[in-house]
């Protein structure tokens, strides 16, 4: 039985009246409703209870820009702290969730009246949610879902969420609940930021990654001696200039007896491009055969992240940051070599920070290294978006 048939059966409205009300909603809120979602909201306003089988669900993996609203069943994988949003005299509250269905994760933002569901812990990590009439939009250029005043969210069950254990080199921006076991190679002093405690540290398991732990987790990391192997359960990955590990207060921190011996750069194997394996740290000698791309973007040095005209922290003094891609080859093959801020400066032999240069100046400098023989230290990985192999340069050796 269709939604319209159900509304007709359970109300005093005729089919023409129902269709008229549906068209009125679509016209009043352009771009928000499909015919089905408008019928669902009308049923809700009339107090008509619809069974789940009468609501069409949309799998997360097929949601795109052509879909205006969606009904989904999903599991909460991560919950960020609630925040306030102020625009003029209007103040709103929201909380961002990471939700999963099979292998697909998306952002789900709960606004205003739905936030107490998180604050009272009715919605928590592992909650199974039946969400109806969510808006489909974009967050950081990715598909995202959000509630409106017409949405409905019900907690229908709970699933135990276990962190997925990963090596540092296998981490990606889509990891929101992972377990990492690695050597604690350095850490800074525990400090206070606003009302929170934070400690920055560095891990190694054959690859390095910077990490930040907060509040209870920060205090636990602070107790662990440098050189010990640390086990972190419940961290998530974010990208600033590079991928970083963020460890929230409720993450589990422990130590293990597993040993990780740090291999000196000079002891890394020297390989040909044709011999490269994904994730292996190596030295690579070859020739810069051409410029593949030069990407520039605004960067906040206070937050260490991309920004638009003004950073979220309020900093307006943004700098210009760069990513450079070269076609790099040896006698066996060619690949793309990718360099970031410090490595670009090292390659060009600059004493100044590259962020103080214009794109034209950087482009001109890069032309001087074409056809030059170079040795890089780094590793091969597959670009998530293009599917192409790229050699990530961690250090310019010569």
Domains along the sequence of the chain with CATH: 1-55 (no CATH), 57-161 (2.40.50.140), 164-256 (2.40.50.140), 265-396 (2.40.50.140)
Q: What is the pLDDT of residue 11?
A: 80
Q: Say how far apart CA 29 and CA 375 lie, in whole Å.
A: 59
State the pLDDT at residue 30. Answer: 63
Three-state SS annotation for 231-244: EEEEEEEEECCCEE
Candidates 175, 176, 178; CA nearest to 165 is: 178
Q: pLDDT at position 212, please?
A: 93
pLDDT for 227-283, tens place per residue? 999 999 999 998 776 789 999 999 999 999 998 887 888 888 999 999 988 878 899
| Residue 147: predicted pLDDT | 92
Distances (CA, A) of 293 to 105, 226, 264, 326, 338: 30, 39, 31, 7, 9
Question: How much is the pLDDT for 31?
Answer: 58
Q: How far is CA 17 from the centre of its chain?
A: 46
Place of tokens 């940051």: 321
What is the pTM (predicted TM-score) of this model?
0.64
What integer pLDDT is reported at residue 251 of this predicted model? 93
Burial annotation 27-57 (CB, 10 A radius, 16+ → b, else e):
eeeeebbbebbbbbbbbbeeeeebeeeebeb
Q: What is the pLDDT of residues 188-228, one digit of tens each?
A: 999 888 888 999 999 998 888 999 999 999 999 999 999 99
pLDDT value at residue 52: 56
Which stretches of the chain score pLDDT less than 50?
Answer: none
The reported pLDDT for the residue numbered 122 is 94
Integer Cα distance of 231 and 223 in angstroms: 13
Cα–Cα dist 288/392, whole Å: 14
| Distance separating alpha carbons of residues 180 and 254, to the nearest angstrom | 11
């Amino acid at each position: 039985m269709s939604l319209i048939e159900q509304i007709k059966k359970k109300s005093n409205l005729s089919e023409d009246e129902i269709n008229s009300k549906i068209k009125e909603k679509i016209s009043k809120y352009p771009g928000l409703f499909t015919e089905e979602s408008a019928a669902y909201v009308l049923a809700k306003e009339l107090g008509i209870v619809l069974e789940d089988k009468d609501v069409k669900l949309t799998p997360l993996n097929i949601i795109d820009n052509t879909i205006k609203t969606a009904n989904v069943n999903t599991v909460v994988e991560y919950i960020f702290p609630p925040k306030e949003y102020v625009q003029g005299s209007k103040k709103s509250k929201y909380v961002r969730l990471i939700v999963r269905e099979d292998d697909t994760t998306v952002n789900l933002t709960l606004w205003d009246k739905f936030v107490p569901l998180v604050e009272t812990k009715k919605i928590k990590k592992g909650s199974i949610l039946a969400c109806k009439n969510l808006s489909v939009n974009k967050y950081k250029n990715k598909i995202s879902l959000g509630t409106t005043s017409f949405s409905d969210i019900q907690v229908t069950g709970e699933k135990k969420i276990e962190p997925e254990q990963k090596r540092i080199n296998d981490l990606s921006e889509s990891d929101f609940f992972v377990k990492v076991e690695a050597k604690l190679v350095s850490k800074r002093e525990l400090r206070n930021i606003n009302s929170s405690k934070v400690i920055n540290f560095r891990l190694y398991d054959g690859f390095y990654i910077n990490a930040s732990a907060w509040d209870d987790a920060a205090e636990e990391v602070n107790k662990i001696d440098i050189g010990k192997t640390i086990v972190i359960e419940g961290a998530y990955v974010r990208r600033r200039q590079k991928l970083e590990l963020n460890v929230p207060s409720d993450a589990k921190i422990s130590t293990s007896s597993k040993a990780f011996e740090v291999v000196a750069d000079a002891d890394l194997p020297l390989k040909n491009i044709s011999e490269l394996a994904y994730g292996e740290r190596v030295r690579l000698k070859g020739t810069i055969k051409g410029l593949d791309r030069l990407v520039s973007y605004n960067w906040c040095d206070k937050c260490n992240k991309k920004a638009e005209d003004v950073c979220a922290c309020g900093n307006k003094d943004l700098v210009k940051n760069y990513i450079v891609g070269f076609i790099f080859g040896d006698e066996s093959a060619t690949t793309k070599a990718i360099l970031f801020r410090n490595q670009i400066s090292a390659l060009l032999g600059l004493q100044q920070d590259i962020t103080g240069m214009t794109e034209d100046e950087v482009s001109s400098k890069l032309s001087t290294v074409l056809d030059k023989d170079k040795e890089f230290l780094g590793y091969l990985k597959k670009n998530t978006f293009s599917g192409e192999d790229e050699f990530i340069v961690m250090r310019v050796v010569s």
